[in-house]
Structure 1
Amino acid sequence: MRFWRRLKTAATILLLALGGQTLPAAAAAPDYAALNAALVDSYVIPHYAAFAERTAVLEASLREACADGRLEARESAAAYNDAMDAWMAVQHLRFGPAVLFLRYDRIEFWPDKRGTLRRHLARMLSQRDTKALEPRAFAEGSVAVQGFPALERLLFDDGDAVRASPLACPLALAIGGNLRGIAGALLADWRDGGSSYAQVVKSAADGNEHYFDAKEASLEFAKALRGALLLVEDYKLGRPLGDEPASARQTRAESWRASRSLRNVRINIEAARALYRGTGAVSLSSLLREQPEGAGLDRAIGAAFERLSAALAAQPESLAVALRQPDGWEKLDAVRAETGRLMELLSGPLSEVLDLPIGFNSYDGD
């Protein structure tokens, strides 16, 4: 039922955007190779570089915070938030090096629907096994305790029991080193050497072991764009909001202990818009405008992004605080609905005009 509702809505939006006219055949095939090169150079590598830089700062901050053997959360809160901001800007790039060695889940094991982090963290703190915190052993251990959610609990949990553990500082340092290592490896895999993933994407036009052609590589970026919106609609807003105000559960939100659930959403939307617009000569937006009647659809997508950004700018960073405001649930539900409408524009009209069959991606069915 939901699928057909979305399909009908997407068709309606497209007709409105294009003045009720049927799309004619495209004048020329989009330049997928140019798009791939532009997105790699202007978006992917700069944002992974920022992630690597900020996780290095986070690790250094944690070392300073643990100088006296006790974890002082306030000393590392700013570095944590900066690193988390950088992660939010690449969180939707769930392909290529990000899926190697369980990197994605090791950075952020979320949503944690079965309380895996709580159980594994409690076991680790009670056993006090420092050998399990050595870099290799830690990286090969439970993914639930290796990344941002576990560090968030160490830094922002209201209770002091976790931070009071003798293992709190060693664990925080292990997480900091792990995040720095993963972020550095992601950047290196994308950027460095003749066999870098940047070269894999850029050479897709000739065919390689990852992509049949440039169009297939462009499809990865289109799916990542849709994935960013799906994360927001279904997980970051859908799960904590529920179907009505009475069913809202703020503890289901991402980063709720750090009071930044909506800050994450705002950055996700900004990142999706940046991926769509691009900063180089070629972007999904520019390719769309080159197609017959594509300019109207591009305007509709741009307007949807503007509405979302304006709505989120008016919200606090904490979803819990937003829910306590007058009509708080209704306003967030409106953001969720607007996100869904934008996702429909991408999944249907944009997908058809640019001949990129987005379909499902790695977030569907999680």
Structure 2
Amino acid sequence: MLTMLWLLLGSCERTSPEEKWITALSARIEAGYQSLHSSSRDLNRQVQEFCVQNTDINVPRQQWRQTMAAWQDIQWVRFGPIVEHNDDWKIQFWPDKKNIVARKVNKMLNEPQSITVEGVANASVVVQGLSAVELLLFDEPYVTQFTSTGTQSGDQCQLLTAITTTLAANTGRIVQAWQDAQFQAGWLASVGQPQDGVHANAVSDAVGAMLTQMEKVKVDKLGGPLGYKNRNRQPNGYFSEGWRSDSSLDNIKINLLAMQGIMQNNEAYDLRRLLESKGNAVIADEFQARLNDNLALLATIDKPLREAVMEPGYRQQLEDLYQSLGALNSLIKTKLTKALGINLGFNSNDGD
């Protein structure tokens, strides 16, 4: 894929810094999607072994964590094929403030007809991805059912297998769609197109997605459980992402490390090199410093997020992290966009 893109660009002498960055970024995204697909297939295999051979539930649980980590690394990409068919929601339905995942899963388990892959693939996005798998593998009432000999255990295994099969198929389709030569050529060609708050190009796609992801981390992944999105402003640990598996803080860390990988990648033309080409290396330094601040604050929280938000002793650390995330987002919205000469326009996640 990377070779093909370089051929599309022509000789290196005629390749702009923006084209070099987008070419390298496209290869990075492709690798991320391939990793997600590979992990999804392994999850499907581990689930089948668990259901057929009655293996330890911790084996598919661990593979679920690896698959979720692969998703969190590439979750920031909110452009291209993944948004065309709600595929991001098919991979993970969240936020889920009304516990819709549990309600939809229970509805499928209680239906008289057999649970099939086709049935799940044609069902709501709510039951097609990692959130539904997390419910079945980590939520105690469902875990208890797996040890029983009743019909529910068999139904849960049928559903778990159907969901992971669908997930593997969906992630495989996303890889193929990203590799599509026509899409790649069009996305790369957009680098040279005029950009404003309404019409995007590949560079504004990428930077806009970075901002959207970091706003999601601040507003939803941290602000939600802190209570900042509630009318009563009361914390609620069950609003954290991955509360059943206690993966919430791990997810935020992976999201931050993904931003770090975009800014600095010693093996490819990264965002730092693009900024350096424009005489704005100081922005790259400030971006990395902000990331380091967030990672350091995150490391001080030694309890699952669902518990930490409910304990007054952790409040200041969490609020410090919230403010630090806001500083990183402000840097992206103001200094980074200005340095790259782009206008992101309105962001639906803006605000506190």
- TM-score normalised by the shorter chain: which range applies? 0.7 to 0.9
- Unaligned runs of at least 5 residues, structure 2: 1-14
The corresponding residue for 2:289 is 303
TM-superposed CA distance for 1:173, in Å, is 0.4
Q: 1:251 to 1:221 in 2, by over 3 A?
A: same
Residue 58 (structure 2) pairs with residue 74 (structure 1) = yes
Residue 136 (structure 2) pairs with residue 154 (structure 1) = yes
TM-superposed CA distance for 1:229, in Å, is 0.7
Deviating more after overlay: 254-263 vs 320-329: 320-329
The corresponding residue for 1:94 is 78
Helix, strand or coil for the counterpart of 1:113?
Answer: coil
How far apart, CA to CA, are the structure 1 residues paired with 2:76 and 2:237? Answer: 22
Q: 1:280 to 1:354 in 2, by over 3 A?
A: farther
Letter in 1 for 2:31: P
- Unaligned runs of at least 5 residues, structure 1: 1-28
Helix, strand or coil for the counterpart of 2:123?
Answer: coil
Helix, strand or coil for the counterpart of 1:138?
Answer: helix
Helix, strand or coil for the counterpart of 2:41?
Answer: helix
Q: Does structure 2 retain, via aligned residues, the 8 Å contact 1:125–1:167?
A: yes
The one of 157, 161, 168 aligned to 2:156:
168
Q: Does structure 1 retain, via aligned residues, the 8 Å contact 2:117–2:163?
A: no
The corresponding residue for 1:237 is 222
| Superposed counterparts of 1:323-338, under 5 Å | 323=309, 327-338=313-324
Letter in 1 for 2:71: W
Higher relative contact order (CA closer than 8 Å, sequence separation 6+): 1
| Superposed counterparts of 1:154-233, under 5 Å | 154-160=136-142, 163=146, 165=152, 166-191=154-179, 193-195=180-182, 197-205=183-191, 216-233=201-218
The one of 228, 246, 253 aligned to 1:266:
253
Residue 268 (structure 2) pairs with residue 284 (structure 1) = no
How far apart, CA to CA, are the structure 2 residues paired with 1:218 and 1:238? Answer: 28
Q: 1:141 to 1:346 in 2, by over 3 A?
A: same
The one of 31, 38, 58 aligned to 1:46:
31
TM-superposed CA distance for 1:31, in Å, is 2.8
The corresponding residue for 1:119 is 103
How far apart, CA to CA, are the structure 1 residues paired with 2:281 and 2:83? Answer: 35
Q: Does structure 1 retain, via aligned residues, the 8 Å contact 2:225–2:309?
A: no
TM-score, scaled relative to structure 1: 0.81
The corresponding residue for 2:5 is none
Q: 1:128 to 1:102 in 2, by over 3 A?
A: farther
The one of 24, 28, 44 aligned to 1:59:
44
The corresponding residue for 1:252 is 239
How far apart, CA to CA, are the structure 2 residues paired with 1:124 and 1:136? Answer: 13
TM-superposed CA distance for 1:323, in Å, is 4.0
Helix, strand or coil for the counterpart of 2:140?
Answer: coil
The corresponding residue for 1:24 is none
How far apart, CA to CA, are the structure 1 residues paired with 2:48 and 2:103? Answer: 26
CA displacement, residues 278-298 of structure 1 (integer Å, 9 cap, x when unaligned): 445432222222334x23222
Helix, strand or coil for the counterpart of 2:97?
Answer: coil
Letter in 2 for 1:138: V
TM-superposed CA distance for 1:318, in Å, is 2.0
How far apart, CA to CA, are the structure 1 residues paired with 2:69 and 2:302? Answer: 16
The corresponding residue for 1:141 is 123
How far apart, CA to CA, are the structure 2 residues paired with 1:283 and 1:135? Answer: 40
CA displacement, residues 281-334 of structure 1 (integer Å, 9 cap, x when unaligned): 432222222334x23222211110111122223334721343467731211121
How far apart, CA to CA, are the structure 2 residues paired with 1:108 and 1:71? Answer: 26
Deviating more after overlay: 76-85 vs 323-332: 323-332
Helix, strand or coil for the counterpart of 1:141?
Answer: coil
TM-superposed CA distance for 1:349, in Å, is 1.2
Q: 1:327 to 1:127 in 2, by over 3 A?
A: same
CA displacement, residues 80-120 of structure 1 (integer Å, 9 cap, x when unaligned): 00000000001110111111222111111110133322221
| Superposed counterparts of 1:336-355, under 5 Å | 336-355=322-341
How far apart, CA to CA, are the structure 1 residues paired with 2:22 and 2:300? Answer: 34
Helix, strand or coil for the counterpart of 2:321?
Answer: helix
Helix, strand or coil for the counterpart of 1:109?
Answer: coil
Q: Does structure 1 retain, via aligned residues, the 8 Å contact 2:91–2:128?
A: yes
Q: Does structure 2 retain, via aligned residues, the 8 Å contact 1:263–1:318?
A: no
Identity in percent: 26
Q: 1:281 to 1:154 in 2, by over 3 A?
A: closer
Q: 1:314 to 1:30 in 2, by over 3 A?
A: farther
Helix, strand or coil for the counterpart of 1:79?
Answer: helix
Letter in 1 for 2:110: S
Letter in 1 for 2:34: A
TM-score, scaled relative to structure 2: 0.84
Q: Does structure 2 retain, via aligned residues, the 8 Å contact 1:229–1:343?
A: yes
How far apart, CA to CA, are the structure 1 residues paired with 2:233 and 2:31? Answer: 42
TM-superposed CA distance for 1:358, in Å, is 2.2
